[in-house]
Amino acid sequence: MFRKILIANRGEIALRVICACKELGIRTVAVYSEADRDALHVRFADEAICIGPPRSSESYLNIASIISAAEITDSEAIHPGYGFLSENAHFAEVCEASKITFIGPRPDVIRLMGDKNQARKKMDELGLSVLPGSSVLNSQEEALSEAQRIGYPVMIKAAAGGGGRGMRIVESEEELPRAFMMAQAEAEAAFGSPDVYLEKYISSPRHIEFQVMGDAFGKVVHLGERECTIQRRHQKLVEESPSTQIDQATRDMLGSQVVQALEKIGYTNAGTVEFLMDENRNLYFLEMNTRIQVEHAVTEMVTGLDLVKQQIRIAAGERLPQKWESVCLRGHAIECRICAEDPETFIPYAGKVTGLHVPGGPGVRVDRAIYTEATIPPYYDSLIAKLICHGQDRNEAIHRMSRALEMFLVEGVRTLIPLHEKIMADKDFRAGKFDTHFLRRFMENAKVEAMAMSGGK
């Protein structure tokens, strides 16, 4: 087992990794920007090193500074968390060259799965269903020709992308040229590559993903699925497990296909294989995230397993325990992402937390990085906490989440807690009747109701 691990991240995921390391008897090194000097991950790590100014490009994305910090502190491994450098194949290669273990998949696998177009091709070869689509497009003329072959509507997607950036829905031939140029420009700005491709657009999809874990001995297992359909601009807000749309037969069949595909590419460590479900409940491979997910806690709640500890054990050369091959999902879990944003406009909200009360009780878990008097900086993602609730069934999980949200008080900054309370109370959400457009319709209905109550003013 490792003696010391550096955590190349911040916020709640850095704290989550620190917790796992402490339970394994591993010393931890936190890295932080000047804006995070008073952050909790800095306080609870055994050592901490400042790696640069507030901007992430000069700190949390600065590979040279992170590697230097690892070398100075004699860290044997680096855990990248999620976001930042977690899916950067070059960073994984630099770690390897520096004789530092990267806690994640091999660089070649990260690179393969990081190119969305190549990943689609590979998974198609390995037997997973994929949406009709194109290769990387070299011109508007080629895009027009491919769109006509696939059939409108289509989605333009960044080949190196994720998180909704570099994506455009195109309903007709007239819309495509402008959307193509905009998607290329956004992809270049966000990922350093203008490469885009087309994919058939499903008008009312659900977003379902399978959690996987693989060891260095060729063994891959899946830990069931998560429903991640409640989104805003392709950013997840509410996740749950299991999905109401997946029965045990489908779970076993698709899970087996996923495992077989990943064993063939030699996948190691944690990962998530994402699918879109159409109106007829057909599932199509969307992409793969080669890291731990924000929503991994949902799976931990229904399986009773610690995914972060297992990441570390696998990176240290251990085999997957045999019990992981036959995991049963127990009860139901839901996660709400608590972001420092205005619940009506979604404008990020930086500032000082002047008061805080965190809910507790049976089946309630809060992963957070905030505390009273903490300052939320304006430089990073707005996620400040994750509220996860587990129940014997979905109904109990929803009711437990509702009361926990009511008891979750954050003063000094605005958060999405009021929005989550309304979502939990929504009749369609409670009935499991939603798709990825749920939040847009939900917000539009809320505005109509607010206008009606104000007399249309």
Active site residues: 291
Q: CA torsion sign, 120 to 125 to 126 to 129?
A: positive
- Pairing between strand 101-102 and 220-232? unpaired
Cβ neighbours for 117, distance < 8 A, ≥ 6 positions apart: 133, 135, 136, 159, 195, 197
Q: CA 237 to CA 76: how far, in whole Å?
A: 35
Given a contact cutoff of 8 angstroms between Cβ atoms, the answer to whether 41 and 11 are in contact is yes
Cβ atoms of 236 and 293 closer than 8 Å: no
Contact 212, 269 (CB under 8 A): no
Q: Vertex 235, ends 389 and 430: CA angle to 5°?
A: 45
- Three-state SS at 365: strand
Q: How far is CA 388 from CA 401, 404, 433, in A?
A: 8, 9, 21
Q: Tokens standing for 274?
A: 């994402």
Q: Which letter does DSSP use for residue 326 in this model?
A: G
**Are residues 388 and 298 in contact, defined by beta-carbon separation less than 8 angstroms?**
yes
Q: Please give the single-letter amino acid code of residue 355.
A: G
Nearest 5 degrees, angle CA 450-CA 451-CA 457? 135
Are residues 194 and 165 in contact, defined by beta-carbon separation less than 8 angstroms? Answer: no
Task: DSSP for 9-58, please give it.
Answer: --HHHHHHHHHHHHHHT-EEEEEEEGGGTT-HHHHHSSEEEEEE-SSGGG
Element (H, E) at 198: strand 196-200
